[in-house]
Structure 1
Amino acid sequence: MNDTTIATNVTTSAPARGGRGPARIDPDDRAQLAESPVSVRRVASLFRPHRATVAVVTAIIVAISLISMAQPFLLRAVIDHALPQQDLRLLLWAVGGMLAVAVVTQLLGVVQTWLTTTVGQRVMHGLRTDVFRHVQRQSIAFFTRTRSGEVQSRLTHDISGMQSVITSTATSIASNVTTAVATAIAMIALSPRLSFLSLLVIPPAVWMTRRVALLRRDITAARQRRLADLHSQVEEGLTVSGATLIKTLSAGQLTADRFAATSTDLIDLELRSQLAGRWRMATMQMIFAAIPALIYLAAGFPATSGGMTIGTLIAFTALQAGIFRPLMGLLDVGAQWVTSMALFSRIFGYLDLPVEIVPPADPVEVEHDRVRGELRFEGVSVTHDGRRYAVDDVTLSVPAGTTLALVGETGSGKSTLAGLVSRLTDPAAGRVTIDGVDLRDLAPEDLARIVGVVSQETYLVHASIRDNLLLAAPQATDDELWQALEAAQVSHLVAGLPDGLDTVVGARGHRFSGGEKQRLAIARTLLRGPRILVLDEATSALDNETERDLQTAIDRLMAGRTTLTIAHRLSTVRDAEQIAVLDHGRVVELGDHDGLLDLGGRYARLVESRSERPERPALAA
């Protein structure tokens, strides 16, 4: 199963609890399971390391149900014997037993909650970390074709939704079954005749309550959808971008009418929801009043009472009232099961994604001090979607310590070719080597130390400057950090900040300008000390003055290193020992700046076209 087949709609319907009514199977959950079935054996394997704890929890659930059944019998003893006969000893024993039952069941309930939550959290932790590690191993192509929100929903909503599966669904099934069975046995033991009467009354009562609850659930679902529409309209119409669009299109009246229509729908849905809820509560109250009344009525007729005592009648009524809730819970098992399996299906869908960039099983050992940095592309081809070539049969050699510049129109394959060097993708044919070693034979951590990348889109994590730099060299000292910042010509900026290295950069480094972020990225790369450097349009988003200031830092970074650079601007390209001109994934020209100008081909035309625009003397991206 690949990522394009994973359902994107996240539904984490929790099992019905309390007065919320029974769960209804979500059509999206059915579709998810139809597309990606989940075996019970695979789900059970997640709990295998915790089977002893699960057995203890099951035993506790059964014990709670059985111990609770002592209450009505103790109550009968108090009413029928202890009070009428003024038997103080029996009264003390019965009342003490009632208190003991309450204390023991509550304590066991606390232990059950602790154990189930512990198991649930450990299973969730295992799945969460497994999914995170597995997704990290996916190629960049996976992230470009998958919405980031979808990945986040797997790690948060779906896995968090499993908490209800583990701590509620499974335990509620076991608890409801044992409670219903134990209660039914106790009712029969107290009065077989009244038990038969209850069997006739309870099914229609359960059916009526469920029918009203489902009606309210449907109305509530419709209301939630309209509320989502309302929130979307607020977000679309009352943000800077949305307001600008509406004003430029003069669509204010149209959007206001849409908002008013949605708000009007909510009035009707809220009214229907409240009435359905009131009807549900009324139905429940009528049932809870009617069933004991019928039992009392039956107990008054000799034919049905069977000589029942008052204590037995009260105890039976308490049991009969207690059987209603577990029966309602068992009716929800189907919906809970489908919802639970749909969650597992979505999570397993990510765990089953094939890894396109596979680390070598037996990597070549690397002595980093002896890496020269000779880079070669040998008959390299890269395909998109398995059909269209992004890079087609490219052969290039970059001697150690020299620079190769890639130029060409947008979509010519420059970034794809550069991405091969850091194994963001693998070639469909041919190979890329460093000092004669195929990149696919290098351990990922060794390759990351050999190849450093500075791209146009500098990414800084929401942490301090120190933490961002230490991503490249976790063991670096403060002196080494300052040396890297100085080489990147940004030490004066950091030193001038109130918190220095401990300054938080903000989300994506928003507190710094584009040039400042690039300098921080260069400092981070310098800490790595790579022998090969990939500069992927590192200055294309900067103005001319900022680029000139940054170029000195880049020159220091490039010194003595094999460099593969992609750049718009002629000033960045002209000093390269080699310039490769790409067109539709093929190298159409190769040489130095002067030689390619003398050739009068595509490179010369690119230079000439850009020379006509002196405000930005650059090459096509």
Structure 2
Amino acid sequence: MRSFGRDPSVTDVQLAPGTGRRIVRFAAPYKRDLSVFLALIVLAAFAAVLNPLIFKVIIDDGIGTNPPATGDPGLVISLALLVAGLALFEAVLKLWQKWCSARIGEGLIYDMRSQVYAHISRMPIAFFTRTQTGALISRINNDVMGAQSAFTGTLSGVVSNVIGVVLTLIAMAILSWQITLLSLVLLPVFIVPAKLIGTRLQALTRESYSLDAQMTNEMTERFNISGALLVKLFGRPSVDAASFRDKAGRVRDIGITRAMYGAVFFVSLTTVAALATAMVYGVGGVLAASGSLGVGTVVALAAYLTRLYGPLTALSNVRVDVMTALVSFERVFEVL
């Protein structure tokens, strides 16, 4: 088994040969649940893209340009009921997705923890003399949870975001390809900094996990009768306490930095989305005033923008997310 040493940056990791095949074997018992899970994600993406189109029809055809002369109350009521029905349908899909996600995730955690525990229990005494207990506990707890998120978080996020972005761009292009191109002009202004922030956050998260594992190992080694006796007889409690405080302090500093990075990320996203929305209303409003574009079309395009920037930003960092999940799997496989 390889050493439980330092973890390199997730973006520089070279996965061990056969990692992919071993992941597939772990997921094989859940292939039916995974298929249903992915199908639900696709259905939810299609349902979400319909609402702005319905808003367009309500405004342009149901309300019209000169109500009540051009209005159609019956159409408005029918489409409003359709929007309500879609909302209920999406709610059912989300609950079903959550059930599938929990079933798959908890099942994987159970399988992996059981296999890791059984495997470690069969190891010879020599294995335990050269292996840190805290590192083993970290593998069973933290890394198993990270591996589980590959299916319940990373996979679902990638599929949902890809389908959502594709459908949104298609719908926007059909409504107005000119405004669609304009709305994408601001995207690089946000995507590049967001990618840098995402990579930095990932590195900080990895460092935090590593420090947590080290502190867990220290507590596990010290807070038992054998460890306590060794510290009392031969150790330096003040030095150990200072070392632990240093690690805890670094985790505290990382937590503050991560919170600020997250705040900058969120503010940047909302600011760029607001600027893009203002541009859509400005350009679209001028076109609508000249009769080149319907008012409902402008409203629909603005609604689609709110569904575009978040998924695109998530996809810009998808490589880091995928590699993080794969590294968690590999760290578990190192034990097995």
Same fold (TM over 0.5): yes
Alignment map for 1:108-257 (pairs within 5 Å)? 108-212=93-197
Q: Evaluate the alpha carbon distance shift between residue 110 and residue 302 of structure 1 in structure 2; reply closer, same or farther with a 3 A threshold.
A: closer
Q: Which runs of 5+ in 1 are unaligned?
A: 12-25, 352-621
How far did 1:255 drift?
9.9
Q: Which has the higher contact order (CA 8 A, sep 6+)?
A: 2
- Equivalent position to 2:9, from 9, 13, 27: 27
Helix, strand or coil at the partner of 2:100 = helix
For residues 367-378 of structure 1, what are the structure 2 equivalents within 5 Å?
A: none
The runs of at least 4 consecutive aligned structure 1 residues that moved more than 6 Å come to 216-232, 240-245, 254-274, 303-306
Q: Identity of paired residues, percent?
A: 25
Residues in 1 aligned to 2:189 and 2:262: alpha-carbon distance in whole angstroms: 19
Aligned residues: 325
- Is 1:328 the equivalent of 2:310? no
Distance 1:345 1:261 in 2: 29
| 1:79 correspondence with 2:59 | yes
Q: Which segment drifts farther, 254-263 or 197-206?
A: 254-263
Corresponding position of 1:346: 331
SS in 2 for 1:69: helix
CA shift for structure 1 position 193:
1.4
Is residue 42 of structure 2 the alignment partner of residue 45 of structure 1? Answer: no
2-structure distance, mates of 1:157, 1:287: 35
Task: Give the drift of 1:125.
Answer: 1.9
- 1:68 paired residue number: 48
Counterpart AA for 1:318: A
Q: Which runs of 5+ in 2 are unaligned?
A: 65-69, 223-227
Q: Which structure is larger by alpha-carbon Rg, 1 or 2?
A: 1
User: What's 1:414 paired with?
Assistant: none
**Residue in structure 1 matching 2:280, options 267, 279, 295:** 295
User: Which structure has the highest helix share of the two?
Assistant: 2
Q: 1:175 to 1:81 in 2, by over 3 A?
A: same
CA drift at 1:219: 7.0
Deviations 1:58-108 (A, max 9, x none): 211111111111100111122222223332211111111111111111211
1:211-610 maps to which residues of 2 (within 5 A)? 211-212=196-197, 276=261, 278-302=263-287, 307-351=292-336
Aligned: 1:92 with 2:72:
no
1:141-164 deviations in Å (ceiling 9; x for gaps): 222222222322222222122221
Flag the 1:52–1:147 CA change in 2: closer, same or farther, 3 A: same
CA distance in 2, matches of 1:146, 1:257: 24
After TM superposition, give the deviation of residue 176 of structure 1 in Å: 0.9
CA distance in 1, matches of 2:36, 2:73: 38
Matched-pair contact (CA < 8 Å) for 1:67–1:105: yes
TM-score (norm: length of structure 2):
0.79
Q: Please tell me the residue identity of whatever aligns with 1:27.
A: S
Q: 1:125 to 1:215 in 2, by over 3 A?
A: closer
CA RMSD of aligned residues (A): 4.0
* Larger strand share, 1 or 2: 1
Residues 8 and 150 in structure 1, CA contact (< 8 A), matched pair in contact too? no
